[in-house]
Every structure is written in C-alpha cells, then in structure tokens.
Amino acid sequence: METDFWHERWKNGQIGFHQDETNEYLLKHWEKLDLKQGSFIFVPMAGKSKDILWLKEQGFQVIAIELSEQAVKAFFEENKLSFTTEQKNDFIIYRSDNIEFYCGNYFDLTKDVMANVKAVFDRASLIAMPPAMRKLYKLKINEILPDSAKILLVTMEYPQQQMDGPPFSVLENEVNELFCDKYEIALLEEFDVLAENPRFIDKGLTKMLEKVYVMQLKASISKE
C-alpha cells in the first residue's frame, strides 16, 4: 500500500483495525516468549495500539513505528502520557517513559535503532501489506532485527478472491516461506473470527481465521 492510502485512512477515521483493548493473543501467549523484564520490544506498523501500553506496563521497553503522526499523537493523548519529541533523520521520535515511538516509514528504519530488540509483536502489520510488500517487509526484518529476537505474529486467512485487502490473507505456507530461512515457526493457535467481525461478513467473506505464530532463531543457525 502506498503511504497516502494509510494517511487517508487515518484522516477519514477508517480505522476498523484498531482495538480498544489489548490484543487477546498478546495477553495469552506473550509469556511463552520468556523475556526478561526491561527487554526491548519492537511493535511495527503500530497504529495507536493499546498493545504498546500493555507491554510498557509489563515492564518492557517499547520501540514502535507508525507512519501516521495523527495516530502517534492520538496514542499519547488518549492514554494521557506526556511525551517529548526529537527530529532524527527521517523520523520524529516521540518519547515517554519506556516508549520510543518512531513516526515515519518502517522501510527507513536502520539497524542501530533495533540493536537491543529481543522480540517483535506483529499484529496487523504483515497482513496490512500486499504480497510483494510482504517480501520487502521480511527482507527489512532480516536487515534490522537482531538474529536472536523472537517474533509473535498474528495473521488472517480468508478466501482472498472474496475481498481486496487490507487486511490481506496470509496463508500458513507463505508464513513458512517468508520466515523459514532463519526461524523455527510454531503455530500456537487458530481461531475462527468471522462471527465476531460483521464488517467482513458484509463484505462477502464466508470464512476468516486468525492464526498466531511464535518464531525464534533456528538452533542450527544460533550454533554457527
């Protein structure tokens, strides 16, 4: 998707993807990543997600990125968090206690920003992108994310011919193809979410699954 697409979505309040509560898969599965308090966590394409706040409240240091300044500002205002800002390279960095929120383009991020990241929470990031862009998203992960970082990924699967994305359907095969170069991938859970998403029933979907994966560096690579 072009950046204008997302700026328009935010400007027009078309943010059906936003959840007013912390993501339930994050709550349910985060412990499985077995991370030390104080670890740095990366939240890509973050919107104004409550997940950032929850991660901070669990004692983690969150690095988030979001294209829309409207979303970043809304995050701090709606959660009543004070912040400072700094313009650095292509980004405006909004800082609050244990949160560094980069306003700018994910594809402009550099390795130094991510040097200490121990885990990624991707909800509605990979699936926000069309197929070619998903490949670039993963290439960028390879470029900037430390090898040892774990990833908790939430995807959606539905018959792609029934609806144009975003959100896009990202099948298990594709997750494996994208990430099997480095990661051991475990499917933690799949859940039929169509009944609780009338807006997708209205768009003609007959099936919609959410799948949750945890990924970590393959043992064969970590021994190298």
Ligand X SMILES: C[S@@+](CC[C@H](N)C(=O)[O-])C[C@H]1O[C@@H](n2cnc3c(N)ncnc32)[C@H](O)[C@@H]1O
Separation of alpha carbons 174 and 211, rounded Å: 13
CB of 125 to ligand X, least distance (A): 6
The enclosing H or E element of 108 equals: none
List the beta strands (DSSP E) in 11-57. 40-43
User: Site for ligand X (CB under 6 A): which residue of 35, 67, 72, 126?
Assistant: 67
User: Site for ligand X (CB under 6 A): which residue of 69, 107, 171, 190?
Assistant: 107
CB of 204 to ligand X, least distance (A): 20
Nearer to ligand X, 24 or 192 (CB): 24
CA nearest to 54, candidates 84, 85, 20, 15: 20
DSSP 168: P
CB of 219 to ligand X, least distance (A): 30
The CB density around residue 186, as the number of other CB atoms within 10 Å, is 11
Residues from 173 through 212 that contact ligand X (CB under 6 A) = none
Please report whether residue 66 would count as binding ligand X according to CB under 6 A: yes
Separation of alpha carbons 73 and 30, rounded Å: 26
Q: By CB under 6 A, which span of 33-41, 83-91, 101-109, 156-164 interacts with ligand X?
A: 101-109
Separation of alpha carbons 139 and 167, rounded Å: 20
User: Site for ligand X (CB under 6 A): which residue of 26, 33, 35, 45?
Assistant: 45
Between β-strands 84-88 and 61-66, what pairing exists: parallel, antiparallel or unpaired?
unpaired
Nearer to ligand X, 22 or 162 (CB): 22
Binding site for ligand X (CB under 6 A): 6, 17-18, 45-47, 49, 65-68, 71, 105-107, 123-125, 128, 166
